[in-house]
Amino acid sequence: MTYPHPAIAGLTGIGMASQSYLLGITKENEDYWKLFATGKYTAEDYKNEGENFKYLSSFYQALLSDVPGLLDETDGNIRVPKWAVKAVAEAFQRYAHRTDIEHDLEATLEESFGIQSESKKETIKKLQQRNKKRFLDRVNMVRMVFGLNVNDAVAVTWKIVQWQKNNKPGFYYNFRASQKSMLDAYHRAYPLPTFMEWVQEWSQLLGYAKTDFESFKAKYLKWIEERVPEAATFIKRKIRLRNPKTDTETTCGG
């Protein structure tokens, strides 16, 4: 039986929740407990997060997307961290107080949940910054996983982003930068020491042994190949040129 993660507040022993009259029969699975692996989704992080609503929203969306079938319509209950329940309850309480007690006609759920209001100009600027970060992070990932140089990693990322723009509208907001401008932006943002710091952080986060990394590498290449075949072909060719004796079909899951 899986032990509850400490992040699930209020559970102090195995089986206590499943025997509880209030909770009834619980139906969590391994995917559910993985949400709390390595201290993810904790009360401390929620309090320290600059944008609490996004953190809260991310948690509840994870229940839908990362744990298939958890929130279906069958009987049963699930355990939810106390901080997540408390955050939602307090937001509705604030909204009810302002509307029912104070009769504040300007009250909004956005304010009750602590969603910061911003001008359209500020929102556009933030979305453009997000575009840039997503692009640069992708370049870093391609460099780290496949060992490509900066120019080649940017070229691969550019192909992937074009596919995302065409197939995932909204993922990149009004992305109009050129490949050359993004290459220049990458050089400014990630000189070699900064890139190595990024690699170190991701290596610790992933925690992969060499065999796990090779598996991740193969899966990542397959993900690219299914969406942007020419990008995958480009990667394989670059790896063959760098390691002529390497069987890329085996190493990279080609």
Q: Tens digits of per-residue pLDDT, 155-185?
A: 999 999 999 999 987 888 888 899 999 999 9
pLDDT in tens, 43-55: 888 888 767 888 8
Give the integer Cα–Cα distance in Å for 93 and 42. Answer: 22
Q: What is the pLDDT of residues 71-125, one digit of tens each?
A: 887 777 888 899 999 999 999 999 999 999 889 888 888 889 888 776 778 878 8
Q: What is the mean pLDDT of residues 209-235?
A: 91
